[in-house]
Amino acid sequence: MSSPFGQVLLITGNAEFEAERLRKRAVAAVVEAQPECQVTESTAAGLQPGELMGLTSPSLFSDSVAVVLTDVQDLPEHAQNELLGYAEATSPDVAVVLVHSGGNKGKGLLDKLRQLPTVTEVKVEQPKYERGHAEWVQREVRAHGSNIDAQAAMTLVQSVGQDLRALAGAVSQLVVSGGETAGSAIDVDLVKQYFGGRAEVRGYEIADAVLAGRLHVAMESNRWAESARTAPLVVIAAVASGLRTLARLESAPQGLRDAEVAALVGAPPFKLRALRQQLTGWDANGLAQAIDAVAEADLDLKSGEADGGYAVERMLLKVASSRVR
């Protein structure tokens, strides 16, 4: 595998979960190549003149440097020129990872970066339809060294929903649960055993209910989901995804067309009306508090600090209390 140093990895597309996972893997590869590497992560919007040049310069504390720059679509013009200048003449001791959320914003910069031999682009696009999500599930299962047929993959999507983070969590559980034999296949029966039951109760429906202020509906649906052995991680991931979508919508610039807003928030245009209605009960502070509550539940679950059912119910209560009305 070629060294990440002296190279620029450009991650583009609206699949936020895929982009985040790819970014983490890229950083892990950098650290594996150079354990003493100094890693700096920054968002693009707030970069001041000369700051990017400083980030990509040699460090007094490490012979190698890695720079991770997210939200590249918001990179100021002065920093765009600095980035292009660096990408045209990279340093052999510096690794750069850029993350662009997709859409037309910053397209001119992307087009210029794509022409440079030091830049490698990886596109991560959100599947559009159920069939596309089922195909994504099949690829995810294969990456775990197992297999799942098309029917079982579609059943999983119909039971869990179309949030990639929730689907990835469900796949991990299925691979472990069905993995007495290495490489064993996941079938419909196994999917139904863990994610069947009351199939209409899906993680995103619980998320929609709590984000809309219908806490009693969310709690009741969550208990149905728990009795159907739906993994708590599925519910947590669905609420997290819903909150991130609302946060992007809340911070969207005024004056954009619906198609531009949809691309920015990562939702189909027909969902904007429902999302805007949902957003009426939230402000930026409340969204931040709710996102913290979800992060806490995720940490408690993964660390074993709390029972899954308790962690999810406490999260739902905290999220509901973060609404402004």
Contact (Cβ atoms closer than 8 angstroms) between residue 313 and residue 232: no
Quick one: pLDDT at residue 130? Answer: 85
Quick one: pLDDT at residue 2? Answer: 76
Contact (Cβ atoms closer than 8 angstroms) between residue 77 and residue 109: no
What pLDDT digit, counting tens, does each position of 205-237 carry? 889 899 999 999 899 888 877 776 777 888 898
Domain boundary (123, 140, 160) is at: 123
SS (H, E, C) 60-101: CCCCCEEEEEECHHHCCHHHHHHHHHHHHCCCCCEEEEEEEC
Q: Are residues 93 and 63 in the same domain?
A: yes
Helix%, strand%, coil% for the chain, nearest 5? 60, 10, 30
Q: Are residues 110 and 195 in the same domain?
A: no
Within-domain flag for 56? yes
Quick one: pLDDT at residue 183? Answer: 53
Q: What is the mean pLDDT of residues 164-177?
A: 85
DSSP-assigned states of every residue in 287-319: HHHHHHHHHHHHHHHHHTSS-HHHHHHHHHHHH
Within-domain flag for 2? no
Quick one: pLDDT at residue 200? Answer: 46
Quick one: pLDDT at residue 178? Answer: 67
Q: What is the mean pLDDT of residues 273-295?
A: 91
Within-domain flag for 3? no
Q: Check which CATH number belongs to the domain holding 27 and give it.
A: 3.40.50.300
pLDDT above 70 covers a percentage of the chain that reads: 93
Residue 41 belongs to what domain range? 8-123
Contact (Cβ atoms closer than 8 angstroms) between residue 12 and residue 110: yes
Q: Are residues 24 and 52 in the same domain?
A: yes
Compute the Cα dihedral for 245, 247, 250, 254 and give only its sign: negative
**Greater pLDDT, 305 or 218:** 218
Which two structure tokens, joined as six digits, stand for 308? 């899954």
Quick one: pLDDT at residue 237? Answer: 87
What is the SS3 assignment for 8? strand
**Greater pLDDT, 192 or 250:** 250
**How many independent structural domains does the chain possess?**
2
Quick one: pLDDT at residue 199? Answer: 46
Quick one: pLDDT at residue 228? Answer: 67
Quick one: pLDDT at residue 262? Answer: 81
Q: Are residues 177 and 287 in the same domain?
A: yes
Burial 134-153 (b: 16+ CB within 10 A, else e): bbbbbebbeebebebeeebb
pLDDT at 138 over 90: yes
**Residues 6 or more apart whose Cβ sits within 8 Å of residue 78:** 49
Quick one: pLDDT at residue 137? Answer: 95
Confidence category of residue 180, pLDDT binned at 50, 70, 90 = very low
pLDDT at 306 over 80: no
